[in-house]
């Protein structure tokens, strides 16, 4: 049975090396925290704020982040062997996922302004209706990923693997125009 923790400000608490299992965190604040070695298993985070937090060796297994904020969070410091999460309606400004294996991940209705997916494995991942403005994908593998409903995408198909990637016609035209290629409609 899932337990609920509501309206808690965790910023002054030490959460290092703790195990949180089957908990729904609702409207909780984890802002600017340094969390080390903590495990979150089968948890839901609704309307939570992790902005500017350090997640050193933190494990996320079977997690849903709903309408939460992660401005400036470096997810690449997390335990990358145990990182399984869905992000729905989240604010991900300046977040770092560099070098992570995020294949088959689902991101929905989220904003990734200036986030970093450099050298990520994003194969078969889905970005549904996400704002990808100024996101870095250098060296990323996006094979069979689906960004067809997302916008403000800027991917260099020379430095990233994009075979089978789906994007909208409008986004494809914008990417090609960044290489000086003009798309003509007949």
Query: Considering 58, 89, 120, which residue would you say is the last residue of a domain?
Result: 89
Same domain, 184 and 149: yes
- What pLDDT sits at residue 21? 97
Neighbours of 182 (CB within 10 A): 7
Query: Considering 89, 120, 136, which residue would you say is the last residue of a domain?
Result: 89
Same domain, 44 and 110: no
**How many angstroms separate the CA atoms of 2 and 53, rounded?**
25
pLDDT digits (tens, 9 = 90+) for 3-60: 999 999 999 999 999 999 999 999 999 999 999 999 999 999 999 999 999 999 999 9
pLDDT digits (tens, 9 = 90+) for 50-75: 999 999 999 999 999 999 999 999 99
Q: What mean pLDDT, rounded, does the chain reach?
A: 95
What percent of the chain stands above pLDDT 90?
A: 85
Same domain, 106 and 28: no
- HEC assignment per residue over 69-117: ECCCCEHHHCCCCCEEEEEECCECCCCECCCCECCCCEEECCECCCCEC
CATH number of the domain at 163, please: 2.160.20.80
Q: Is the pLDDT of residue 185 over 80?
A: no
Same domain, 110 and 183: yes
What mean pLDDT is predicted for residues 125-152?
Answer: 97
pLDDT digits (tens, 9 = 90+) for 142-159: 999 999 999 999 999 999
Same domain, 167 and 117: yes
SS3 64: strand
What mean pLDDT is predicted for residues 164-179?
Answer: 89
Same domain, 59 and 6: yes
Q: How many domains does the chain have?
A: 2
Same domain, 104 and 163: yes
Same domain, 186 and 102: yes
- The model's confidence at residue 176, banded by pLDDT at 50, 70 and 90, is confident
Same domain, 38 and 102: no
Same domain, 31 and 81: yes
- What pLDDT sits at residue 180? 84
Q: Is the pLDDT of residue 183 over 90?
A: no
Phi and psi based region of residue 84 (left: phi greater than 0; alpha: psi -120 to 50; beta: remaining): beta
DSSP 8-state symbol, 25: E
What mean pLDDT is predicted for residues 68-83?
Answer: 94
Domain of 56, in residue numbers: 1-10+17-69+76-89
Same domain, 102 and 179: yes
Give yes or no for a contact between 44 and 63, defined as CB atoms under 8 angstroms apart: yes
Same domain, 24 and 81: yes
């Amino acid at each position: 049975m899932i337990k609920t923790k509501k309206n808690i400000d965790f910023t002054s608490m030490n959460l290092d090396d703790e195990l949180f299992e089957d908990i729904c965190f609702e409207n909780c604040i984890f802002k600017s925290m340094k969390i080390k070695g903590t495990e979150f298993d089968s948890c839901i985070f609704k309307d939570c704020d992790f902005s500017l937090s350090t997640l050193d060796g933190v494990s996320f297994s079977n997690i849903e982040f709903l309408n939460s904020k992660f401005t400036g969070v470096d997810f690449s410091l997390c335990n990358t062997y145990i990182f399984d999460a869905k992000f729905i309606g989240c604010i991900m400004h300046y977040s770092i996922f560099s070098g992570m294996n995020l294949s088959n991940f689902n991101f929905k209705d989220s904003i990734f302004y200036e986030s970093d997916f450099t050298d990520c494995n994003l194969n078969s991942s889905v970005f549904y209706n996400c704002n990808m403005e100024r996101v870095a994908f250098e060296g990323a593998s996006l094979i069979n990923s689906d960004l067809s409903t997302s916008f403000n995408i800027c991917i260099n198909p020379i430095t990233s693997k994009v075979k089978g990637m789906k994007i909208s016609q409008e986004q494809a035209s914008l990417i090609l125009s960044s290489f000086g290629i003009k798309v003509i409609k007949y």
